[in-house]
Amino acid sequence: MSAESLDARYQRQIPLFGKEGQKKLKNARILLAGAGGLGSAIAMYLAAAGVGYIRIVDEDVVETSNLNRQILYRETDIGSCKVEAAEKTIHALNRDVDVDAVCRHINEKSVGNLVQGVDMILDGMDNFAARYILNRAGLDEKIPFIHGAVNGFYGQVTTLIPGVTPCLRCIIPTTPTWEKNAIIGVTCGAIGSIEATEAIKYITGTGELLKNRLLLWDGLRGESESIQIVNSPECTDCGFSESEPDARRFPV
């Protein structure tokens, strides 16, 4: 796409962070872990904003039960590998985005390669086991990790920066023992949009990040609050984390 066309495409957002900020988005390399409800919203908004490279990782196929919240997919995608269907949808929205579609399980063996060469990790996962693996990899490689989780009408978001903020293990030190929870698409949209906002702010150097704060969203009441999070010596990942906020409503 020509420079003139790019300016036209992004003309409504360039005033927010300038052409230099738009170039930073173009040059950014994002790892999006998970192509479900959260990942769908994150992917769509980052692609629309002009993020140049998105490595999207998920091992699942599209199921009928996904369609109430996973807006990357259509009925015709049922049975398809999620990341391949996601790539098609993202390219239909913005063909200039380089999508690296990786159909792979995120575990201790695979995560090292998955985080290589990226500027930021975004959490689109539905389980804390994988989140802890990504948290540890982010700490090891000094890569910021934007965490988001949803449960029913509730959600939470924070931006975790190695050496600057608590890590995920500080906030939730052990894997919660949750049953499969109910979820509605609008919650994924709300939390995924905030995660994408945090990524855009970080990349462009705009605004104030959710550093050392956990944003809690209550969709039933239409209210949100931001609580402070600090480090604690008991953290087994970063070595100094904090008193844990009450995240019990937000398992995945």
DSSP letters of 139-204?
A: HHHT--EEEEEEEBTEEEEEEE-TTTS--HHHHS-S---PPPPPB-HHHHHHHHHHHHHHHHHHHH
- Predicted local confidence at residue 199, as pLDDT: 98
pLDDT mean over 148-176: 93
Q: What is the pLDDT of residues 13-47, one digit of tens each?
A: 999 999 999 999 999 999 999 999 999 999 999 99
Q: Residue 115 carries which DSSP code?
A: T
Spatial distance between the Cα atoms of 158 and 152, rounded to a whole number of angstroms? 18
What is the largest distance, in Å, between two alpha-carbon atoms of the chain? 53
Residue that the structure tokens 């738009």 belong to? 22
**Closest alpha carbon to 211 in 150, 155, 145:** 145
Tokens of 85: 């269907």
pLDDT mean over 125-150: 96
Q: Which domains does the chain have, with CATH numbers?
A: 3-228 (3.40.50.720)
Spatial distance between the Cα atoms of 137 and 145, rounded to a whole number of angstroms? 9
Determine if residue 236 is left, alpha or beta; phi over 0 gives left, psi from -120 to 50 gives alpha, anything else beta.
alpha
Q: What is the pLDDT of residues 53-110, one digit of tens each?
A: 999 999 999 999 999 999 999 999 999 999 999 999 999 999 999 999 999 999 999 9
